[in-house]
Structures are given as structure tokens and as C-alpha cells.
Structure 1
Amino acid sequence: MPVSAAVNAFGTLLKIGDGGGGEVFTTIAEVQNISGPSLSLEMIDVTNHSSTAGWKERIGGLLDGGEVTFDINFQPTASTHSYSAGLVKDMVNRTKRNFKIVFPDGSSTTWTFSAFVSKFQSKAPVNGQLSASISLMITGQPTLA
């Protein structure tokens, strides 16, 4: 019977670059669930009057790196979260940053990509922790290595 090679996702890190020469990446504090990148291929409809038996025909168009979304335990004064230095500031200033998702697979497999913070939604429930949901809109080609 085959044994699964599944990897436990606990310990995955999301890091943000400082934009400097010899860029330094800092782990974003208190990240919970991470989704993405959500890669897609735009399909272009090229159906014409000569298409075989009236079936739609398509060709591949532009590739899209999509989004990375994640949740955090929001710490308003944490350097990677704050309005003065973190994700909120980057969104307000329309700052493009480099990011890395580092998987705990024993090989340090990473997704690297450039992105803008496109959404920052904080949540403050009556009975629960202060949290936030963030979206990163990827620009250009993400790399899995």
C-alpha cells in the first residue's frame, strides 16, 4: 500500500522584502492561513464560422499570478502590520514589494513574487482576537523553486 508524501503546512512562513539592495526578508508576524498564489491562464475565444461542428475554439492568452490571501492576528503596532511601517502603510502608499512563501518541506521550497497589498480588512469581534484578512495582488511572474 502506498504511503502518502503529504507535507504538514504548519510552520509555513510569509516574508516581506525591504526593497533594498541585497534585499532582506522579514517574516510577517502572526500569520495564520495562507492561500495562493492563484495562477490562471486567460483563454481567448477564436471560434469562427469554420470551426469544426460548431465547437468553440480557444487559444491561451496572458498568464496571471493572481492573489495571495492570508489572515493574521493583527497587532496594530507590529512593524510588519502597522500604518507607520507595515502592510497598511504599503497599501496606502501603493508600494510594490517582494514576498516569499517558505514551505516547511525540508527543502526550503519557496514561492517568490512581487505584489501590492490590495486589501487589508481588520476584524474586532466581541469574543475573539483582533485579526485581519489581507490580499496581495501579484504583478509579474511568481517563481516556485
Structure 2
Amino acid sequence: MAGHDAWSTLLERRGSEGEWETIANVHNVSGPGLEREEYDVTTHSSPGQWEEIIFGIKRTGEVECEVYFDSEQHLHVIREDFAGSEPNDYRMSFPDGGSWEFSAGLTGCEFDFPHDGPMEASMTFKLSGPPSFMDEETS
């Protein structure tokens, strides 16, 4: 099969008791991006004049989510995560049973209150440390 339906993908946050709490009304979620630094170590004696590369620091990207904003369900997450200096634990759960767990901090939040549509918020989370990728068998 060429693709899978993303419906029922969840973005969750670890609560104070250690349980996973779903961030409500998410209608779009993307990320995290992953990058790796590369260093050119080509020399005058590199075989066949081909470049030689070594790999260095692994960099995490961001998770962005768009929600239909509900102050009762979202303000506590925004207040706690934006005010805190330590990252929180998050999990993105996929319809096939796999998931990504990561620590992140809320680095941005934008609100949209149009006169002709639903209230929305866009939240950006920056990862700290490595994400854990789990498939259905390791979850």
C-alpha cells in the first residue's frame, strides 16, 4: 500500500501522575524533523578524488500542531509549558500502533479568532534530546 490514513493520530502530554493526556482537538500535527551535521574530511590522498564525510551532532527539529482552540482544554498546557524552564514528555501515537516519545518545550503559540470560522491555536514544541521511536511490537 502506498500510504496510510493519518486519522486518529494523537499528540499526548505526560501528566503529573505519569499518565498520558491527549491534547484535545488537534487537526494537524507535523514533525519532528531530524538532521545530522556532516563534516568533509576529504584529503589530497582520498581514493579516486572522492569526497569523504564523517557525521557529527544529531539535531532535533520541532513538532507543530494546530488545534481548534478551547480555553478549558488548552490554556493549562500553554501556561505550564511556556512558563516552565524544563521540557515535558510528549508522545505522538499513530493509527498503526507505533509512537514517537520525546521531551520538548513550548517555544511558540499563536491564536486565530476569525469572525467566520473556529477559534484556533498553533503550538510549536522544540525537542530536547533524542526521540524514542517505537513500533507496535516495542510499545
Against the structure 1 CA distance between its residues 5 and 56, is the aligned structure 2 distance closer, same or farther, given a 3 Å change threshold?
A: closer
Tell me how far apart the structure 2 counterparts of residues 51 and 57 of structure 1 sit (CA, whole Å). 11
Aligned 8 A contact 1:18 1:97 in 2: no
Tell me how far apart the structure 1 counterparts of residues 79 and 41 of structure 2 sit (CA, whole Å). 42
Q: 5+ unaligned residues in a row in structure 1: which ranges?
A: none
Match of 1:67 in 2: 62
The one-letter code sitting in structure 2 at the alignment partner of 1:6 is: G
Match of 1:99 in 2: 90
Structure 2 length-normalised TM:
0.84
Correspondence for 2:11 among 11, 14, 18? 14
Tell me how far apart the structure 2 counterparts of residues 72 and 136 of structure 1 sit (CA, whole Å). 14
SS of corresponding position for 1:86:
helix
Against the structure 1 CA distance between its residues 51 and 29, is the aligned structure 2 distance closer, same or farther, given a 3 Å change threshold?
A: farther
Tell me how far apart the structure 1 counterparts of residues 77 and 9 of structure 2 sit (CA, whole Å). 20
Against the structure 1 CA distance between its residues 62 and 19, is the aligned structure 2 distance closer, same or farther, given a 3 Å change threshold?
A: farther
Aligned 8 A contact 1:88 1:120 in 2: no
Against the structure 1 CA distance between its residues 51 and 9, is the aligned structure 2 distance closer, same or farther, given a 3 Å change threshold?
A: farther
Aligned residues: CA RMSD? 2.0
Q: Quote how far apart the aligned CAs of 1:51 are.
A: 6.6
- Structure with the higher fraction of residues in helix conformation: 2
Against the structure 1 CA distance between its residues 44 and 90, is the aligned structure 2 distance closer, same or farther, given a 3 Å change threshold?
A: same
Would you say how many aligned residue pairs link Structure 1 and Structure 2? 133
Aligned 8 A contact 1:15 1:100 in 2: yes
Identity of aligned residues (%): 32
Are 1:44 and 2:39 matched, yes or no?
Answer: yes
